[in-house]
């Protein structure tokens, strides 16, 4: 008989998932690298400043996380938190969108700004956050930036801005676009006063932010692999009717073509900035500039 020629398949008992065991596994325990696919323990990822130890991929960071990773512990003092977004154009559902962004991000706006130190060197700092309506630049973002730069000018200290943005905020129309000129004018006064401005582009930095303060630094830096540009690839290709290089609009591409001064790994960013600040300090010491307080 044919059935005698083939052994019977063994039956294995199935084990049903234990729901109580599943409930005991904490969420956010592991992360998967978007570039190399490696599974990373969250605590190891945090120790590595949210970069993959296998391929160097830079995970996104929130504004509070970046401030903690960049400034001396306990040195940050936030300014202008009282400036809140309105609805100047009565744009449909805009107030609800802003409120949802506040609840999701825990921030009042797409930027944190204030005063702090790096290796003891004083500076004013502004850090954008992509979670808040894609880090878009509205009138409050522009006002906080301008005030940050103006304080740095008045106190005679450098200013550092970390950018991550989808560009100008369409719900505020011309009020949003005006921020490009306002922040640029503040930076010009800062430069005329002989003070240092360091711009650090992170992934992604696009639109009106790229077209203004993100590329106006005395020193223009970026994180590895950051996408930096004005318009999107498809729009540019359809306009010029040419296919762009695969690495187009990456930090490395911009560095090669002279639009950036350096691409700095996140783990090296704090010591890199400390070195630059020490070189700019009047006496090469942390107290080379007078404190803002």
Residue among 185, 76, 89 at smallest CA distance from 139:
89
pLDDT of the residue at 205: 97
Rounded to the nearest 10 degrees, how much is the dihedral formed by the CA atoms of 182, 184, 188, 190? 80
Binding-site positions for Zn(2+):
33, 36, 52, 55
Long-range Cβ contacts of 184-187 (<8 Å, 24+ apart):
184/212, 184/213, 184/216, 185/146, 186/145, 186/146, 186/149, 186/150, 186/153, 187/149, 187/213, 187/216
- Domain locations in the chain as residue ranges: 30-59, 61-280
pLDDT of amino acid 148? 98
Quick one: tokens of 112?
A: 């944190």
List the binding residues. Answer: 33, 36, 52, 55
pLDDT in tens, 159-206: 999 999 999 999 999 999 999 999 999 999 999 999 999 999 999 999
Q: Please state which CATH number belongs to domain 61-280.
A: 3.90.226.10
Tokens of 63: 């504004």
What is the mean pLDDT of the segment spanning 4-30? 58
Entry pTM: 0.87
CB-count burial class (<10 Å; 0-12, 13-18, 19+) for 191: middle
Q: What is the mean pLDDT of residues 114-125?
A: 98
- If one counts every other C-beta atom within 10 angstroms of the C-beta of residue 131, the result is 16
């Amino acid at each position: 008989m044919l059935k005698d020629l083939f052994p019977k398949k063994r039956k294995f008992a199935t084990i049903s998932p234990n729901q109580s065991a599943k409930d005991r596994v904490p969420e956010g325990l592991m992360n998967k690298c978007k570039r190399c696919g490696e599974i990373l323990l969250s605590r190891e990822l945090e120790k590595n400043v949210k970069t993959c130890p296998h391929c160097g991929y830079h995970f996104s960071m929130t504004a509070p996380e970046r401030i903690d990773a960049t400034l001396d512990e306990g040195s940050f003092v936030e300014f202008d938190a009282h400036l809140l977004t309105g609805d100047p154009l009565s744009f449909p559902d805009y107030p609800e969108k802003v409120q949802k962004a506040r609840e999701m991000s825990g921030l009042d706006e797409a930027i944190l700004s204030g005063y702090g130190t790096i290796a003891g060197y004083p500076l004013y700092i502004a850090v954008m956050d992509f979670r808040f309506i894609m880090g878009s630049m509205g009138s409050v973002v522009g006002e906080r930036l301008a005030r940050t730069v103006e304080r740095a000018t008045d106190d005679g200290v450098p200013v550092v801005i970390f950018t991550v943005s989808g560009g100008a905020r369409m719900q505020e129309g011309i009020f949003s676009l005006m921020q490009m000129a306002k922040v640029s004018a503040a930076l010009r006064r800062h430069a005329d006063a002989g003070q240092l401005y360091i711009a650090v582009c992170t992934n992604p930095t696009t639109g009106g932010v790229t077209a203004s303060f993100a590329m106006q630094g005395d020193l223009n830096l970026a994180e590895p692999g950051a996408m930096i540009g004005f318009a999107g690839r498809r729009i540019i290709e359809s306009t010029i009717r040419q296919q762009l290089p695969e690495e187009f609009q990456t930090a490395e591409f911009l560095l090669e073509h002279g639009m950036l001064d350096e691409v700095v790994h996140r783990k090296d960013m704090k010591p890199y900035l400390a070195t630059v600040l020490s070189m700019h300090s009047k006496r090469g010491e942390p107290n080379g500039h007078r404190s803002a307080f």
